[in-house]
C-alpha cells in the first residue's frame, strides 16, 4: 500500500514539451509511472513522448482519465497551472516550480482549498512510491520498497535519506517532498496523518529545517496526540544566524518559533527521536523499528 500515488496513478504533465518537462517525464516513465497526457496551450492535437498533448487540463482529464498532475512550467504561469489542475478535478497536483511569487501562491492555495485536490509543493522534489510511481525529481535509483515513510522539506536531503535507508536495507513506502516555500500545499501535519492511516508504513522519517512553524505544529497536532508509529526527525540549518534567510524562501527564523532548537524541543516532547546526521537517521530508524521489521 502507499499514500498519494501508486502504479495505477494516471499522470498528466503540464509543460511536457519543455526541456525540463521532457527530461523529467522521461525519467518518470522509465520508473514505471503511467504518463497518459501532456498539456501545453497551443500544442493540442500533437503527441510527445508517446503521450497525447492537449490545450487544457480539462480536455486531458476527459480524454484520458488522468487523476494526478505534474506541473513543471515557468514561475509566471505556475499558479494558474495549479488552479487549472484543481478546477479540472485532478486528485493530486505536484508542482516543482521554484520562484513563484508569494502573492500568486496565496491566491492559488486559496483556490485549491475550495476543491478536493491535494497539492504538493511548489519548489519541491515531488513524491515517490518505491517501485511503483514517481512524480517529480527524486532519482530513480535511490529507493527500494519497504516499510519506512519519508516526509521532507529539502529535496537534496530527501534523496540522501532515501539512499541511506536503502543502502542499509531499510526500504520505503512513500517519500513526499513538501518543499520549503512560505506558501505550500500539503504540510508535515497532513502527510503524517496520511502515513498514520497507511498499514504498510511502520515508521516515519521527518526531515525539517529552520524557518516557519510547520514542524512544531506537526509535533503538537499529530505526534503528541498518540501517533502510534515511531518517528525519526532530522532538522537542518542549525548553524544559521537568526533573522537571515538561508536557502529556501521559508527558511528564516523569527520570534520564538522556527529555530532548530524550538523544532527539536517540540519533536522530542512529542516522542520523536532526533538525528544529528543522515547516518543517525538510518541507525535510529533501525533501532526504533527493530532491524528485521524495518526491511
DSSP state of 281: H
| Cα–Cα distances in angstroms (integers) from residue 140 to residues 10, 176, 177, 216, in the given order | 18, 14, 15, 31
Whole-angstrom distance, CA of residue 287 vs CA of residue 16: 43
Residue ranges in the chain assigned as alpha helix (H): 19-31, 57-64, 75-87, 102-112, 155-167, 188-196, 214-221, 260-269, 278-289, 291-294
CA distances from 242 to 104, 211, 264 (A): 27, 10, 16
Question: 234: which 3 cell numbers?
Answer: 532530522
Distance CA(50)–CA(21), nearest Å, equals 14
How far is Cα 30 from Cα 106, in angstroms, rounded to an integer? 34
Q: Are 32 and 135 in contact (CB under 8 A)?
A: no
Active site residues: 248
Nearest to 11, CA basis, from 36, 30, 46, 40: 36
Please give the Cα distance from 236 to 153 (Å, whole number).
10
Q: Are 123 and 100 in contact (CB under 8 A)?
A: yes
Amino acid at each position: 500500500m502507499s499514500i498519494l500515488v501508486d502504479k495505477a496513478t494516471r499522470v498528466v504533465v503540464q509543460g511536457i514539451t519543455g526541456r525540463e518537462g521532457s527530461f523529467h517525464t522521461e525519467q518518470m516513465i522509465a520508473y514505471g509511472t503511467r504518463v497518459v497526457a501532456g498539456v501545453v496551450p497551443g500544442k493540442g492535437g500533437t503527441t510527445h513522448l508517446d503521450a497525447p498533448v492537449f490545450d487544457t487540463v480539462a480536455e486531458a482529464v476527459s480524454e484520458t482519465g488522468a487523476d494526478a498532475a505534474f506541473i513543471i512550467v515557468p514561475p509566471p504561469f505556475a499558479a494558474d497551472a495549479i488552479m487549472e489542475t484543481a478546477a479540472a478535478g485532478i486528485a493530486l497536483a505536484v508542482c516543482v516550480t521554484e520562484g513563484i511569487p508569494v502573492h500568486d501562491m496565496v491566491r492559488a492555495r486559496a483556490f485549491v482549498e475550495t476543491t478536493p485536490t491535494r497539492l504538493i509543493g511548489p519548489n519541491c522534489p515531488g513524491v515517490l512510491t518505491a517501485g511503483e510511481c514517481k512524480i517529480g525529481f527524486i532519482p530513480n535509483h535511490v529507493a527500494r520498497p519497504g516499510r519506512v515513510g519519508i516526509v521532507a522539506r529539502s529535496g537534496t536531503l530527501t534523496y540522501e535519506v532515501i539512499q541511506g535507508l536503502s543502502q542499509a536495507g531499510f526500504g520505503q513506502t512513500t517519500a513526499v517532498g513538501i518543499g520549503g516555500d512560505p506558501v505550500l500545499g500539503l504540510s508535515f501535519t497532513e502527510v503524517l496523518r496520511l502515513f498514520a492511516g497507511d498499514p504498510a508504513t511502520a515508521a516515519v522519517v521527518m526531515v525539517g529545517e529552520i524557518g516557519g512553524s510547520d514542524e512544531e505544529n506537526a509535533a503538537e497536532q499529530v505526534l503528541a496526540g498518540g501517533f502510534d508509529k515511531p518517528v525519526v526527525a532530522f532538522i537542518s540549518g542549525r548553524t544559521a544566524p537568526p533573522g537571515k534567510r538561508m536557502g529556501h524562501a521559508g527558511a528564516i527564523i523569527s520570534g520564538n518559533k522556527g529555530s532548530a532548537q524550538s523544532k527539536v524541543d517540540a519533536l522530542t516532547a512529542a516522542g520523536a527521536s532526533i538525528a544529528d546526521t543522515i547516518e543517525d537517521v538510518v541507525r535510529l530508524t533501525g533501532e526504533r523499528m527493530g532491524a528485521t521489521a524495518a526491511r
